[in-house]
Amino acid sequence: MSLFDLTGRVVVVTGGNGGIGLGMAQGMAAAGASVSIWGRNAEKNAAALKTLANGTCEARQCDVSDPASIERAFNETLAKYGRVDGCFANAGIGGGGRSSFIDRPQSEWREMLATNLDGAVLTLQHAARHMRDRAGKGDAFGRLVATSSLASISGTARNEHYAATKGALNSIIRALAVELARYGVTAHCVLPGWIESEMTGGLFSNEKFVANVMPRIPMRRFGKPEDFAAVAVYIMSKGSSYHTAEMFLIDGAYSIF
Ligand code: NDP
């Protein structure tokens, strides 16, 4: 059997209907996993589902800034498949037009935390409870993953609320890796560099931005969603069971140049 055969595994990917999340979902579906992609936009969900390689995947409408929506989506996914082996808390919003910390309205701070932090934490919590219960029944296996950002390390001027959510995810994932190890659960963060997606579309069409940033990326290209397929498959594989609390930098060496 292939080291990376995910047949029989069930994986939730929030924000799986586009960008990085879809790249991960496509990789895992091609490796045989049943992937449940969650997003708010039904049309994006339907279009994304068509690109997944096997017929056991599904798309589900969920707004991760709403705790009731997460609970419903998780319970329905569980009812359909009977298990969830992996949970990729990837859904996120960027900072939009950057504005000063000094002037940041509470509403922006709250919206950012509700989606990028509360949404990820609640999703991971549902999955962790289920993984603990399953371990108690002799089926110990789980993978918890958060999509963080290089902003979690560097901070981001005029986008500090975004960076704060990602820094918090790094800390939480490390805590989960220790607390949940006894249940056969590993926990990781993926830290993307500059990646082509809906979130970065506006930025990457700005010539000045590209002229300044590209020379600082040793790989001399922006990342693409498909650059996240293989790392997701690796994380979900049985072979990575002793590898936990990793901060996977997927950035073309941007952060060390
Ligand atoms: P996209 O905008 O392409 O994807 C964001 C995804 O999140 C979409 O699927 C969107 O679906 C979903 N989403 C947003 N808000 C919610 C919500 N409230 N509930 C459910 N789903 C939601 O961007 P990326 O693929 O680039 O971003 C994915 C992750 O990667 C994010 O967490 C982002 O912070 C992180 N990241 C991205 C970087 C980059 O350069 N692109 C760099 C570093 C980190 P829908 O609109 O249908 O809800």
* Residue 68 CA, ligand 1 centroid: distance in Å: 20
Q: How far is 100 from 90, CA to CA, in rounded Å?
A: 26
Helices (H) and strands (E) in the chain, counts: 10, 7
Residue of minimum CA distance from atom 32 in ligand 1: 92
Residue 237 located in a structural domain: yes
Residue 5 located in a structural domain: no
As a whole number, mean pLDDT of residues 37-54 equals: 97
Among the atoms of ligand 1, which is closest to the Cα of residue 20? Answer: 25
Residue 145 located in a structural domain: yes
As a whole number, mean pLDDT of residues 190-205 equals: 97
Residue 140 located in a structural domain: yes
**Backbone angles phi and psi of 225, in degrees to 5:** -50, -35
pLDDT of amino acid 99: 87
Query: Which of 199, 204, 217, 221 best tests ligand 1's pocket when mutated (most atoms within 8 Å of CB)?
Result: 199
- Strand (E) or helix (H) holding 89: strand 86-89
Q: CATH number of the domain that 158 lies in?
A: 3.40.50.720
Alpha helices by DSSP H, listed for the chain, are 19-30, 42-50, 67-81, 106-112, 119-136, 151-154, 160-179, 201-204, 207-213, 229-236
User: Number of folded domains in the chain?
Assistant: 1
> pLDDT tens for residues 201-233?
999 999 999 999 999 999 999 999 999 999 999
Domain carrying residue 90: 10-250
Which of 90, 97, 93, 44 is closest to 203 using CA atoms?
97
Residue 196 located in a structural domain: yes
In the structure, what pLDDT confidence band is assigned to residue 1 with cuts at 50, 70 and 90?
A: low
* Residue 21 CA, ligand 1 centroid: distance in Å: 7
Q: How far is 140 from 159, CA to CA, in rounded Å?
A: 39
> pLDDT tens for residues 8-31?
999 999 999 999 999 999 999 999
